[in-house]
Amino acid sequence: MTLNDVTAKPESSAESLSFADYLLKKELVSVVALEAALAEQKITGDRLGLILTRNGFLTRKKLVEVILETNPSEIHKEFYFSVRVPPAKLTETSTMIVAETPETVYLATLKDERSVRLELAPFYPDLKLEFVAANHEKVEYYLADLNRMMSDDSGLAERIIRRALRENISDIHIIPRYNSYSIFSRYLGVKKLTHEGTLDEYNILTARIKDMSRMDLAERRIPQDGGFQIEYDGKMVDLRVVAVPTVNGELIVIRLLDPDRVQPDLSGLGISRVSEWRKGVSRPDGLCLICGPTGSGKTTTLNASVKEMDRFSRAIYTVEDPVEYRIAYTGQVNINPAVGLDFARSLRAFMRADPDVIIVGEVRDNETAQNAVKAAETGHLVVATVHTGSILGAASRLQDLGVPKYELRYLLRTVLVQRLIRVYCTHCHGEGCTYCHGTGYGARTLVSECAYFSNESDVQKLLDGVISWPLMIDDAVLKHEQGLTSKEEVVRTFGIEAEEIIEKRVWERANA
């Protein structure tokens, strides 16, 4: 299969080739990845852009940009659920949101464009409204799907989940209490109360969620894990569900794993010394570590690192608990303790499966640590996550797990430690608006410390406790000084120590 073998099913040959040429010219995808997508298109008949986003080579945002650059008339085939416009307003105006860019929102409507523009302009004061050709059937389907998300008839569980996806919520917490229950939604790492209901409603809701997650409905005495998929915005979204028995009933937590949140470009994550990390993962062998507490974005960085690797010429295997984001052309293993499939056993299996790169979701015990080191020693690149808060702590943690210093000295390549911090909304610059739910924060970025060890001497300095890299808290303070985030957010993330550092630096500049 080559680029000359393009066979058009949903698109004409000329359109596909123009789209492909643009992707190659802008170096958005490799020739090999594009040829693989074209081969898949020949079998499935799906649009080329959909295949590339599904396989993690393009984000949906980048796909929209490419369509607008190469063939704007094709933009009407897309659709988007926006947080800005109430579903009732879209239904009232018979309007579908096609796409949003930093400058323009594209709309398709079955009513008069002038009246719709007047109706929707207040929701987009900072964007230009542009109308595209409307496919009557597609608009009706979009509105029906939107109403299904919000209507009581769709089922409470489905409505809550789809609303959370529309509002970019990462986790839903369903908490039973004495005479009622509460739902909290986590937006940009911060929980907020979003619903209060009766215990009868709680029982219906939790039964439905457990059923969709393939849990035992009758079992309420022990924790259970499960999950399911839902289609949203033209893509499949994985949902990971945990049920925990409490004194008032089962606490349910749903994690929404939207693939569009995984940035395929490491440069977009906010890692200040990302070049140091790339040096390590570019090596053919050795041990690279991503560290941080739970919820610090380690899996996202791990997946972004894998997506920058050549998944066609290198055999890449991952073992995770559980697999959160699916990456095409890799072998991903979900551990299953019930049948004895743990991290250590998976690593041993990988060693017999002709690997080049082995990704370990978490090094948490002696056996996993020893097998990871053994894989690195035998000429493979091992990338793993460790729960620790500093580069010095990473080296100590591995030693605690039984990895001797002399092995680390020869195998350690790079260590990245990270946390997530909220940054100002680009639409209101911290003032609070509809787009950021009034919080003033529109996204999160990484604050980190990263060090690359080019030889045994560099690693020995680390083992001796010598710090030769900027610390993570300094990176957070720098981002505040650059105007990306607030002093309050830095203090919320790092505590009073951060406030003291910020005040000290203000005093030093004032007295310089």
- In three-state form (DSSP H/G/I as H, E/B as E, the rest C), the secondary structure along 219-234 is CCCCCEEEEEEEEECC
Q: Which residue has the tokens 């794993």?
A: 257
Residue 206 dihedral angles phi and psi, to the nearest 5°: -70, -35
Q: How far is C-alpha 445 from the geometric centre of its chain's CA atoms?
A: 12
- pLDDT for residue 7: 36
pLDDT in the model for residue 17 = 54
- Asked if the model's pLDDT at residue 151 lies above 80, the reply is no
Average confidence (pLDDT) over 11-35: 77
Q: Please report the pLDDT score of residue 8 as a whole number.
A: 37
Q: Name which of 425, 426, 363 is nearest 395 in CA terms.
A: 363
Position 14 pLDDT exceeds 80? no
Average pLDDT over the chain, rounded to whole? 89
Under a CB-based contact definition with an 8 Å cutoff, are residues 198 and 183 in contact? no
pLDDT at 235 over 80: no
Q: Which tens digits make up the pLDDT trace of 422-469? A: 999 988 888 988 778 889 999 999 999 999 999 999 999 999 999 999
Q: What mean pLDDT comes out for the span 42-71?
A: 87
Residue 197: the pLDDT is 94
Alpha helices in 250-362 (DSSP H): 274-281, 298-308, 343-350
- CA torsion 131-132-138-139 (nearest 10°) is 10
Rg for the chain, CA atoms, rounded: 25
Percentage, residues of the chain above pLDDT 90? 60
Query: What pLDDT was estimated at residue 251?
Result: 97
CA dist., res. 224 & res. 214, Å (int) = 10
Give me the residue spans of the domains in the chain: 3-77, 87-147, 151-259, 262-470
- pLDDT band at residue 50 using 50, 70 and 90 as cut-offs: confident
Q: What is the mean pLDDT of residues 107-112?
A: 94
Q: What is the pLDDT of residue 313?
A: 94
Point out which residues pair with 19 in neighbouring strands.
none
Distances (CA, A) of 127 to 99, 102, 122, 124: 12, 7, 10, 5
Q: What band does 6 get if pLDDT is binned at 50, 70 and 90?
A: very low
Overall average pLDDT of the 284-308 stretch = 92
Whether the upstream peptide bond of residue 322 has omega within 30° of 0, thus cis, is yes
State the average pLDDT over residues 396-406.
93
pLDDT band for position 262 (cuts 50, 70, 90):
low
Was domain 262-470 assigned CATH 1.10.287.70?
A: no
Distance between CA 470 and CA 473 in Å, rounded?
A: 9
Residue 163: which residues within 8 A CB-CB, separation 6 or more? 149, 150, 169
pLDDT attached to residue 1? 42
Residue 261 has pLDDT above 80, yes or no: no
- Asked if residue 273 has pLDDT above 80, the reply is yes
Dihedral over Cα of 262, 265, 269, 273: its sign: positive
State how far the alpha carbon of 391 is from the alpha carbons of 226, 289, 300, 445, in Å: 34, 9, 19, 19
Q: What is the pLDDT of residue 244?
A: 96
Q: What is the pLDDT of residue 264?
A: 59
Dihedral (Cα; 210, 213, 219, 225), 10-degree rounding: -120
The DSSP secondary-structure symbol of 404 reads -
pLDDT the model gives residue 82: 75
Least confident of 26-30, 92-96, 192-196, 311-315: 26-30
pLDDT for residue 9 is more than 50: no
Selected residue with higher pLDDT from 154 and 411: 411
How many CB atoms lie under 10 A from the CB of residue 208? Answer: 15
Per-residue pLDDT of 89-103, as tens digits, reads 999 999 999 988 888
Tell me how many degrees the CA angle 241-297-100 measures, rounded to the nearest 5: 85
Q: What are phi and psi of 192, to 5 degrees?
A: -145, 135
Interior angle at CA 296, CA 292 and CA 301, nearest 5: 90
Most confident of 10-19, 232-241, 308-317: 308-317
Which whole number is the average pLDDT over 373-382?
94
- 151-259, what's its fold? Beta-Lactamase (3.30.450)
User: Cβ atoms within 10 A of the Cβ of 397, count?
Assistant: 20
| 51 compared with 80, residue with greater pLDDT | 51
- Please determine, for residue 134, whether its predicted confidence score (pLDDT) is greater than 80: yes
Average pLDDT, integer, range 313-322:
92
What is the percent of the chain with per-residue pLDDT over 70, rounded to a whole number?
94
pLDDT above 50: residue 12: no
Predicted TM-score (pTM) of this structure = 0.83
β pairing state of 104-109 and 95-100: antiparallel
State the Cα–Cα distance between residues 127 and 121, nearest whole angstrom: 8
Is the pLDDT at 512 greater than 80? The verdict is: no
27-36 per-position pLDDT tens digit? 889 999 999 9
Rounded Cα gap, residues 477 and 501, in angstroms: 8
Tell me which of 346 and 511 has the higher pLDDT. Answer: 346
- Which of the 8 DSSP states describes residue 277? H
Task: Report residue 511's pLDDT band, with 50, 70 and 90 as the boundaries.
Answer: confident
User: Tell me, what's the pLDDT at 450?
Assistant: 97
Q: Is the pLDDT of residue 202 over 80?
A: yes
CA separation for the pair 394, 220 (Å, rounded) = 38
Q: Bigger pLDDT: 78 or 333?
A: 333
Rounded (10°) CA dihedral 307, 311, 313, 314 = 90
pLDDT of 265: 78
